[in-house]
């Protein structure tokens, strides 16, 4: 599987490392060169300094035709812009944007952009620890119309999520 990740913060670097170790072809893009210091010395993927909301940068990163695109910067707007480019200009089928606002996460999913809402994810985790029922809202949503679309209500358990069983690249 080929994956492009925009944002080499803690989440982006962790995803890049895990996918790389699993044998996937990973490219990570960030505006700041020092962000790549979060990657382990053993990282076998590509690290590209550039703007993940710029179509030319994404093409240079090899995003066109990739299997998975993750926009994981700290800014909702940047993530949605990058994800929208991935869907509309680059034709990538599996796209997720990290979004903090649960209302916006639902709206973007309805527009075809998969979302990961850490606000809902963290609130539900804390409620679970406290023995309370979760919000009933999914923290991960596939873009509507996507062949792997999830139920509109209820989070996708990690073990059941399609990313949990991604095949390693051959060769």
pLDDT of residue 150: 38
pTM: 0.83
Q: Which CATH number fits domain 2-165: 3.40.50.300, 3.40.50.720, 1.10.8.350, 3.30.230.10?
A: 3.40.50.720
Side by side, the strands of the sheet bearing 114-117 are: 46-49, 25-30, 2-6, 68-71, 95-99, 114-117, 140-141
In a 3-state reduction of DSSP, which class is residue 123?
Answer: helix
CA terminus-to-terminus distance, the chain: 12
Q: What is the pLDDT of residues 122-169, one digit of tens each?
A: 999 999 999 999 888 899 998 876 544 333 333 333 333 334 344 444
Q: How far apart are CA 110 and CA 33, in angstroms?
A: 34
Instruction: Tell me the pLDDT tens digit for each residue of 21-64.
Output: 999 999 999 999 999 999 999 999 999 999 999 999 999 999 99
The total of other beta-carbon atoms located within 10 Å of residue 26's CB is: 28
Cα–Cα distances in angstroms (integers) from residue 126 to residues 24, 26, 38, 110, 120, in the given order: 32, 32, 27, 27, 10
Could you state, in order of their start, the residue ranges of all structural domains in the chain? 2-165
């Amino acid at each position: 599987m080929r994956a492009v990740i925009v944002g080499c913060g803690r989440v982006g670097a962790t995803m890049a490392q895990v996918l790389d170790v699993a044998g996937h072809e990973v490219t990570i893009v960030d505006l700041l060169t020092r962000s790549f210091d979060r990657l382990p010395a053993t990282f076998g993927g590509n690290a590209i300094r550039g703007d993940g909301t710029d179509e030319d940068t994404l093409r240079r990163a090899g995003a066109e035709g990739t299997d998975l695109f993750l926009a994981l910067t700290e800014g909702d707007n940047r993530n949605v812009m990058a994800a929208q480019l991935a869907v509309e200009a680059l034709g990538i089928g599996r796209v997720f944007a990290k979004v903090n606002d649960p209302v916006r996460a639902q709206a973007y999913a309805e527009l075809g952009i998969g979302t990961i809402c850490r606000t809902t994810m963290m609130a539900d985790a804390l409620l679970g620890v406290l023995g309370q029922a979760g919000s009933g809202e999914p923290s991960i949503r596939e873009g509507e119309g996507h062949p792997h679309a999830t139920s509109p209500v209820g989070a996708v358990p990690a073990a059941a999520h399609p990313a949990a069983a991604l095949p390693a690249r051959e060769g």
